[in-house]
């Protein structure tokens, strides 16, 4: 149970996958266009920070300019991995998987998703590029800022570490050059070095934005797109989390009320949360608990802001949503330890797979300036209030970043066949955002999974649906009826488990 819960809340937020082995591991140089940096691929294994799984692949590095408009300046080494298709009949258009965050490294998160791509990878190479600033691609790293306990860190400590990190990194890198447009140009250099005329883009969460930005800049290179947890350019990431998270929590509470057993055990999850937050606003609590991973005794300070963050984090996946009513009721009765322990475990997974400095470099330039205006009446009705926007704004005031023109926010118009995937109860990219993206994607189709959260690629038969879509290169006539069998996770009626 602990292993499963640790994996499902990773920023791309999809379930853990099984090992998939590939063949043909001989080193080979990738074709490179004239004048391009050479990409030589050799045998390697991809590893996830927490999983024992190892995925055989071919890996290499590609040198790219830090500033594409000034290629004679500083260069960055991008880590590239290719999980090779099965021998025989390989299609010429590979799949580029674009990780989420922003800040996830594709080569690190892929081992948790390999089974999701198993069908697609029979006929197509899977290409993984660590976004500049993440993983092994000139990672932007501040060790104190990225400590695994950040989910239970106080706001003042967080801002102090953000400012210190920005000061250090600002002397080493041009933080204006770590945005989505820069990475889109990196991706096209990788595509060219691999000798592919067209690619299929599969983006998760922030990776959906990357796919759209790439499609806008290089429209002729995109054969198809699969966007899971859609974050269109019209969406200021972080600016709507309070609204969308409240919607997801309300859906979960309503589903509990509609379930007689859950309603009897937990008649008022929203009231439990409100009472817990109110008590902690009067004064934080210091808890003594066992570390969920090591078992060592430790102390954690729990305040209202921490509880809000924990509930948001645990709203990402149906497995942890199923625990929320029980966790909140237990906390209201006087024991918030289980809530803190599970949130701490989830937060560690997120920190281990995300570069916080890269995340700030992207969101502070591309999103925070376009946050919606305050709505005090609505904010009072939301458990997050305006805490997410306030936290991002405060951090962005202390972290060096670039600026983007207003035109960056314009809808991406693309005729590429596109599959838009949404979880009905996604707390950060609900179906509304996919519907907005669809307005400028005339060859798109939206699929929404009932009761699911952030990330649907690994749910039910979705992998089969995605393989059919990419193989056909069109959403027309796509058979997705099997998705109707995907159901929400049953609620736990106590911390021992759900009803049989």
CB burial of residue 291 (10 Å; 0-12, 13-18, 19+): middle
- pLDDT single digits (tens) 247-270: 999 999 999 999 999 999 999 999
> pLDDT for 321-345, tens place per residue?
999 999 999 999 999 888 888 877 7
Nearest to 6 by CA among 425, 252, 350, 453: 350
Q: Provide the pLDDT for residue 17.
A: 29
Of 10-19, 289-298, 343-352, 379-388, the poorest mean pLDDT is in: 10-19
| Mean pLDDT across 95-104 | 95
- Any bridge partners for residue 188, and if so which? none
386: left (phi over 0), alpha (psi -120 to 50) or beta: alpha
Written as one string, the DSSP assignment of 37-99 is PP-EEEEEEEE-SS---EEEEEEEEEEEESSTTSTTS-EEEEEEEEEPPPSSS--SSPEEEE-
Residue 336 DSSP code: -
Angle 257-7-52 from CA coordinates, rounded to 5°: 155
Q: How far apart are CA 489 and CA 8, in angstroms?
A: 13
pLDDT-above-70 percentage for the chain: 87
Sole residue written with tokens 């009905």:
424
**Mean pLDDT across the stretch 82-111?**
93
Please report the domains of the chain, with CATH numbers, ordered by start residue: 11-146+159-236+406-485 (3.40.50.1820)
Q: CB of 209 within 8 A of CB of 180? A: yes
What pLDDT, on a 0 to 100 scale, did the predictor assign at position 93?
A: 97
Predicted local confidence at residue 347, as pLDDT: 64
pLDDT confidence of residue 29: 41
When pLDDT is cut at 50, 70 and 90, the band that residue 474 belongs to is very high
Mean pLDDT, range 24-45, rounded to an integer: 60
pLDDT mean across residues, the chain = 88
Whether the pTM exceeds 0.85: the reply is: yes
What do you get for the CA distance between the two ends of the chain, in Å?
16
Q: Cα–chain-centroid distance for residue 433?
A: 15
- Of 178, 232, 198, the C-alpha closest to 440 is 232
Q: Are 276 and 331 in contact (CB under 8 A)?
A: yes
Mean pLDDT for 147-157 is: 60
Please report the pLDDT score of residue 289 as a whole number: 75
């Amino acid at each position: 149970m602990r292993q499963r819960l640790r994996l499902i809340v990773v920023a791309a937020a999809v379930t853990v996958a099984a090992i998939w082995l590939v063949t043909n591991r001989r080193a080979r140089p990738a074709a490179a266009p004239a004048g391009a940096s050479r990409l030589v691929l050799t045998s390697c294994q991809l590893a996830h920070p927490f999983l024992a799984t190892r995925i055989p692949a071919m890996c290499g590095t590609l040198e790219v300019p830090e500033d594409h408009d000034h290629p004679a300046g500083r260069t960055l080494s991008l880590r590239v991995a290719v999980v090779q298709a099965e021998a025989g009949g390989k299609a010429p258009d590979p799949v580029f998987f674009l990780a989420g965050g922003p800040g996830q490294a594709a080569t690190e998160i892929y081992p948790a998703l390999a089974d999701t791509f198993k069908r697609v990878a029979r006929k197509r190479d899977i290409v993984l590029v660590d976004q500049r600033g993440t993983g092994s691609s000139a990672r932007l790293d501040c060790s104190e800022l990225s400590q695994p306990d950040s989910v239970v860190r106080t706001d003042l400590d967080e801002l102090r570490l953000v400012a210190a990190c920005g000061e250090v990194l600002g002397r080493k890198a041009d933080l204006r050059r770590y945005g989505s447009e820069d990475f889109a140009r990196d991706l096209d250099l990788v595509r060219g070095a691999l000798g592919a005329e067209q690619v299929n883009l599969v983006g998760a969460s922030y990776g959906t934005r990357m796919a759209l930005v790439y499609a806008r800049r290089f429209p002729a290179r995109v054969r198809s797109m699969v966007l899971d947890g859609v974050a269109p350019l019209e969406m200021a990431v972080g600016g709507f989390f309070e609204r969308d998270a409240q919607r997801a929590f309300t859906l979960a509470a309503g589903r509990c009320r509609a379930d007689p057993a859950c309603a009897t055990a937990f008649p008022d999850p929203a009231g439990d949360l409100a009472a817990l937050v109110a008590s902690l606003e009067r004064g934080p609590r210091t808890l003594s608990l066992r570390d969920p991973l090591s078992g060592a005794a430790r102390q954690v300070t729990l305040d209202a802001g921490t509880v809000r963050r924990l509930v948001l984090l645990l709203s990402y996946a149906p497995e942890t949503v199923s625990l929320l009513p029980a966790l909140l009721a237990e906390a209201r009765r006087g024991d918030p330890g289980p809530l803190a322990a599970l949130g701490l475990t989830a937060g560690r997974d997120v920190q281990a797979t995300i570069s916080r400095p890269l995340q700030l470099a992207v969101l502070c330039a591309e999103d925070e300036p376009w946050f919606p205006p305050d709505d005090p009446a609505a904010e009072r009705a939301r458990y997050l209030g305006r805490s997410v926007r306030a936290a991002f704004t405060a951090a962005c005031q202390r972290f060096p970043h670039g600026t983007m023109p207003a035109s960056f926010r314009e809808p991406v118009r693309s005729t590429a066949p596109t599959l838009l995937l949404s979880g009905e109860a996604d707390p950060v990219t609900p179906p509304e955002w996919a519907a907005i993206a669809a307005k400028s994607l005339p060859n798109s189709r939206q699929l929404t999974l009932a009761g699911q959260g952030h990330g649907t690629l690994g749910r039910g038969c979705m992998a089969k649906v995605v393989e059919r879509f990419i193989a056909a290169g069109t959403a027309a006539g796509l058979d997705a009826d099997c998705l109707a069998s995907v159901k929400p996770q049953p609620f736990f009626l106590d911390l021992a488990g759900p009803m049989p």
